[in-house]
Structure 1
Amino acid sequence: MLPIEPTDQTLPALVLRNAISCPTAPAITWSEGLETHTLSWSDLRERVLNVAEWLIGMGVGPQGPVALALGNTVDHLVIDLATMHCGAATVIVPGDFDGAEVSSLLSVSAPAVLFVEDPGMVDVLSRIDDAELGYKLVHLDADGLWRHVLAGQEPGDPRDTRGQLVQRLRDLDSNDPITVLHERSADGSVKTVAISTIDVLSATESLLATGLFDFDYRYIADSPLDSAMTRLLAIHLPATVGGHVVCCPDAESLVTLLIKFRPTFMFGWPPMFSALGCWIDSMLTSPVLAHARADIVQSRRVLEEAHWLRRGGGLISQDVMVRAAIARGGTMREVRVNLGLDRLAVVVCGATLAEDVHQFWASVGIDVLCAYGTNECAGFISVDLPGTGIPGSAGIPLPGSRVTIAGDGSILVRKPGQQGSESIAIAASSWRHTGDFGYLDEDGRLHVNDDPGR
């Protein structure tokens, strides 16, 4: 029996808890060609343990992290969780880094193993002189199979790796880093942030405390897993609530997956909402819905009116409220059913959204909540609550989070329980510098902008 309990405050303990309490519930779903595959929480834990033993045989450990240059695939999620079981950290290689940046990242992080799948990244790596870096390169082919290990060795005796895994789980420390993220700053420099277990658990608890996620969590993970916000939604939150994640490998697959899996939660960045909005608009004006054109136009007008009154802080009359409630049902509900958007309980944009895009989504009966977060704070800092958003707002600070504005207009955050280390300075008072500028309005909403003079 592995030496962890489902009550322990670690990600491996959460995986174990789900494997015990909801063993047959879906954990991860992905597609390979025309076939769809799903791992239950029990299946996922078994696979994670097998991969963890394999990683230990490859030299992964507290001093030998795992570097991931992978997309939104089941391999990414499984390897990520397996690495945590080894007591090691995953180093995320951003897909937009050039050869020099990747080389520097690998030199500093010194991973024991580097996983890649994209031929373009393999081409980048081929130009790097990795003779002194010492990592083992694992190239995953298009089917997700581990084809070959270059400059590596075969895993050790399974009995030995199982013994080491038991000891690693026994030694897990929630203050140790489990993820190292890299992002390019506005000035072109690369910022590195190390995030610990206690960081992500605290960030997850703060998000759950909003009450926004009191439903069966089913999320299509289409945003790259290279930020604390997207990783929280695809890895840490599902592990905490026993949720279901559907892997979306590229933007082209999102529409198909929406219709097929009908998520209860959706997250994206502004470009995604604009692009998806264009698809929805094309459907609304297609010949298929010609018979309901008049109803659609009228319903959208009513929903837009209610949206503008609410966003502008005006009073919404009982008449408008009733008409908006009726408009959201009927024909518009049928539209959302046809688009795979009918089960959505919460929709969040990771930044402020242009008002015309916000209005469009409201006109089909979907209120997009805007949010703000940083890697330094391990995820979300603020988020709109339903019906509270106004133009330009990035939401209300999460429960347990404190936000203040420094004299120069920079945003400072204090989140209890977080002890992760980062490359930018933290004030002695424990306020974290986000590197962004903004202000708090009289109602406590956070507004973020790029110009400290605004």
Structure 2
Amino acid sequence: MTTSNGTSDEKVDREKIENRAPSVAHMFLDRITASPDAEAFRFPMGAEEWIGVTWAQTGERVRLLAAGLIALGIQPEDRVSLASTTRYEWVLADLAVMCAGAATTTVYPTTNAHDVAFIVADSGSRIVIAEDADQVGKLVQHRDELPDVSAVVVVDGHGDGDWVLGYDDLEDRGRTLLAENPNAVSDRIQRIRPDHLATLIYTSGTTGRPKGVRLPHSAWTYEAAAIDAIGLLGPDDLQYLWLPLSHVFGKVLLTLPLQIGFPTVVDGRVDKIVENLAVVHPTFMGAAPRIFEKAHARIESMMEDEGGAKKRIFDWAVGVGLKMSRARQDGRSPGTRDRLGYALADRLVFSTVRERFGGRLRFFISGSAPLNPDIGRWFDAVGIPVLEGYGLTETAAASCVNRPDSNRIGTVGRPVPGTEIAIADDGEVMIKGPGVMTGYHNRPEATAESLTEDGWFRTGDIGSIEDGYLRITDRKKDMFKTSQGKYVAPSATAATFKGICPYASEIVVYGEGRPYCVALVGLDAETMTEWAGRNGLDGASFAEISQHEKTRGMISTYIEELNLQLNRWEQVKKFTIIDRELTVESGDLTPSMKLRRKVVVDSFSDSLVGLYD
């Protein structure tokens, strides 16, 4: 096997890893002690107002909620399910669960009632914290299947005097317990060991039934300490956090501030991201590639609308920026002319683009799915590097990440210190380190299939290691072989196409056992609406726009451009355009915006088969 630990030439403060806190709860208490009056979190209140809270203030709320859970009978390592969108109350609840010595079972708020009941029951959750009446309704619908659940706590709402308690009720119970036993929470925290279960995250289920991934406290404290040890972030940073906290990517970004001490702006409204960036001025943000694709497409579309001199200046500036980006990637020093050109491009164009994102961003962090290298180069050109990283739910997210001073676009970076990456003989990526799960909940056979006896986790991804950097090429299960015996990596093709075509949200390449490849193309509603207005289709419905001959002609030119970059057997010979937008709500995407390939293929199987007629 080819292996990499990625740290041979890197300055690493290993003491931070070796001397890390024994649990997330201990880490939280240490942060309160170290910077009680520093801002911890900021969250929206109403349409315009933002509320900031200190670590000490957060600690007081968490202590009350943790005591409330203990008063309800929660014991060490009991599971408490948390079904909510990303908001400050999610943060409080998660920390409270761990400070009570229990483990958070995360539930996406978009999960249907049947699957919610499965997750809550399979996890053995004793209590469920639900965001609102909609989430409570899913539980009530399946109450007979949840005998272990003694109470449901609703964040936005009131109790029913029976099974459901209000958030205020939970705090009141905590207040009463602490009046009787002031050390109830601190005593519970002191008994938490590194190997105790902290989080149970159910895989989002791109294929098959979700599996509960068991992550101990040691996985989270390691991830936080390892990122701190390489100096990627500091206490002066400001994070903007919108990602689903039920997802491992969002969860690790919630753990980092406990270790490092920077404040975090929390707002899960996806439609407010760009607007909020301009208001709160963060220094970094994590996101899935779709966010960067949409931002890139939006800016390019706006410049297309402007036309004339502005468009020419913009294109010239991007060209200059790309030359500088290529020089950095090649390790070359740009010439005087290029530096002067870039300074002018920055003053005329790039500074305005950066202001749109708040003006202070040091970098973005991309994860959850492959990022098209052309999108990465575009952002690098305008002065906002996108550091692509890699990890899975089973590895507590952050296994590899690019560093700001050595960002190799097209790779997912080097392993974080303490983690090893290997490539098996069949090309599968293997991971070993303190962040790897202890196993799947109630699934010993699945655990044995994924974890080797000596601790390596089989990721299911195909990749290669180049100078210590990991490059992911596709999912092992997604790759297919045509009837000509040629392998095709559909994810790589999709990433390339979305970088070329600003109007595409997804492309599903298909061709298992077939003589050639075909594709389903999903369109982005926002950019297509603007395009339609420019092309005589103003006022038409999304379905009408998607099926119009003008749209097909436009997408066809991008397919032709894509095919020029592919081997003959990978090329898309025919395609059809999906007549609706692919969404999380429709089940096409996971909550972290990953394509559910099998779901989409099954939904549009007739269209795919028709392309071979």
Tell me which interval the TM-score lies in, with the shorter structure as reference length.
0.7 to 0.9
Q: Is the 8 A contact 2:239 2:285 kept in 1?
A: yes
Q: Which residue of 2 aligns with 1:151?
A: 163
Q: Which residue of 2 aligns with 1:212?
A: 232
Query: Does residue 1:239 correspond to 2:258, yes or no?
Result: yes
* Greater Cα offset, 34-43 or 408-417: 408-417
CA offset digits 1:264-300 (Å, max 9, x no partner): 111100111122334444665787x999766544322
Q: 5+ residue gaps in structure 2?
A: 1-18, 480-486, 490-613
Displacement of 1:121 in angstroms is 3.2
Q: 1:352-367 maps to which residues of 2 (within 5 A)? A: 352-367=370-385
Cα distance in 2 for partners of 1:222, 1:270 equals 14
Q: Which residue of 2 aligns with 1:414?
A: 432
Q: Which residue of 1 aligns with 2:347?
A: 330
Query: Does residue 1:446 correspond to 2:463, yes or no?
Result: no
Q: Which residue of 1 aligns with 2:155?
A: 140
Amino-acid identity (%): 23
Q: 1:108 aligns with which of 122, 133, 155?
A: 122
**C-alpha distance 368-323 of structure 1, shift in aligned 2 (>3 A):** farther
Q: Which residue of 2 aligns with 1:263?
A: 282
Q: 2:218 aligns with which of 192, 198, 210?
A: 198
**C-alpha distance 443-77 of structure 1, shift in aligned 2 (>3 A):** closer
Displacement of 1:440 in angstroms is 1.8
Q: Which residue of 1 aligns with 2:453?
A: 428
Q: Which residue of 2 aligns with 1:344?
A: 361
Query: Does residue 1:381 correspond to 2:399, yes or no?
Result: yes
CA offset digits 1:417-446 (Å, max 9, x no partner): 767333523212121222322222355433
Query: Does residue 1:30 correspond to 2:49, yes or no?
Result: no
CA offset digits 1:92-151 (Å, max 9, x no partner): 01234333322111112222221122554344334213462433112222xxx6666751
- The number of equivalent residue pairs is 443
Q: Is the 8 A contact 2:412 2:471 kept in 1?
A: yes
**C-alpha distance 204-146 of structure 1, shift in aligned 2 (>3 A):** farther
**C-alpha distance 177-356 of structure 1, shift in aligned 2 (>3 A):** same
Cα distance in 1 for partners of 2:341, 2:109 equals 43
Aligned-partner residue type, residue 59 of structure 2: R
Q: 1:211-230 maps to which residues of 2 (within 5 A)? A: 211-214=231-234, 216-230=236-250
Cα distance in 2 for partners of 1:83, 1:7 equals 20
Displacement of 1:343 in angstroms is 1.0
Aligned-partner residue type, residue 400 of structure 1: G
Q: Is the 8 A contact 2:78 2:125 kept in 1?
A: yes
**3-state secondary structure, aligned to 2:453:** coil
Aligned-partner residue type, residue 386 of structure 2: V
Greater C-alpha radius of gyration: 2
**3-state secondary structure, aligned to 1:400:** coil
Q: Which residue of 2 aligns with 1:92?
A: 106
**3-state secondary structure, aligned to 2:114:** helix
Cα distance in 2 for partners of 1:388, 1:273 equals 20
Q: Is the 8 A contact 1:179 1:196 kept in 2?
A: yes
Displacement of 1:260 in angstroms is 1.0
Aligned-partner residue type, residue 266 of structure 1: M
Aligned-partner residue type, residue 224 of structure 2: T
Query: Does residue 1:173 correspond to 2:193, yes or no?
Result: yes
Cα distance in 1 for partners of 2:77, 2:404 equals 44
- Over aligned residues, Cα RMSD in angstroms? 3.0
TM-score, L = length of structure 2: 0.66
**C-alpha distance 415-324 of structure 1, shift in aligned 2 (>3 A):** farther
* Greater Cα offset, 35-44 or 13-22: 13-22
Cα distance in 2 for partners of 1:320, 1:188 equals 56
Aligned-partner residue type, residue 370 of structure 1: E
**C-alpha distance 15-133 of structure 1, shift in aligned 2 (>3 A):** closer
CA offset digits 1:295-329 (Å, max 9, x no partner): 54432221022234555x48554346624652564
**3-state secondary structure, aligned to 1:379:** coil
CA offset digits 1:190-233 (Å, max 9, x no partner): 12111111111111222223332146221111110122222111
Cα distance in 2 for partners of 1:147, 1:328 equals 59
**3-state secondary structure, aligned to 2:391:** strand
**C-alpha distance 416-323 of structure 1, shift in aligned 2 (>3 A):** farther
**3-state secondary structure, aligned to 2:61:** helix
**C-alpha distance 319-168 of structure 1, shift in aligned 2 (>3 A):** same
Aligned-partner residue type, residue 433 of structure 1: R
Q: Is the 8 A contact 2:220 2:396 kept in 1?
A: yes
Cα distance in 2 for partners of 1:281, 1:122 equals 43
**3-state secondary structure, aligned to 1:445:** strand
Aligned-partner residue type, residue 378 of structure 1: A
CA offset digits 1:39-60 (Å, max 9, x no partner): 1111111111111111212222
**3-state secondary structure, aligned to 1:51:** helix
* Greater Cα offset, 191-200 or 423-432: 423-432
**3-state secondary structure, aligned to 2:32:** helix
Cα distance in 2 for partners of 1:35, 1:442 equals 48
Displacement of 1:242 in angstroms is 0.9
Displacement of 1:355 in angstroms is 3.1
CA offset digits 1:156-179 (Å, max 9, x no partner): 742345443232122111210111
**C-alpha distance 148-219 of structure 1, shift in aligned 2 (>3 A):** farther
Cα distance in 2 for partners of 1:321, 1:147 equals 65
Cα distance in 1 for partners of 2:346, 2:64 equals 48
Cα distance in 2 for partners of 1:405, 1:46 equals 47
Q: 1:58 aligns with which of 72, 75, 78?
A: 72
Q: Is the 8 A contact 1:85 1:168 kept in 2?
A: yes
Cα distance in 1 for partners of 2:195, 2:182 equals 24
Q: Which residue of 2 aligns with 1:398?
A: 416
Aligned-partner residue type, residue 361 of structure 2: L
Cα distance in 2 for partners of 1:193, 1:178 equals 11
**C-alpha distance 330-188 of structure 1, shift in aligned 2 (>3 A):** same
**3-state secondary structure, aligned to 1:380:** coil
Cα distance in 2 for partners of 1:194, 1:149 equals 34
Q: Is the 8 A contact 2:37 2:55 kept in 1?
A: yes
**C-alpha distance 146-127 of structure 1, shift in aligned 2 (>3 A):** closer
CA offset digits 1:342-369 (Å, max 9, x no partner): 2111211104312342243234222211
TM-score, L = length of structure 1: 0.87
Aligned-partner residue type, residue 184 of structure 1: S
Cα distance in 1 for partners of 2:74, 2:85 equals 21
Aligned-partner residue type, residue 441 of structure 1: E
Q: 5+ residue gaps in structure 1?
A: 1-5
Q: Which residue of 2 aligns with 1:3?
A: none
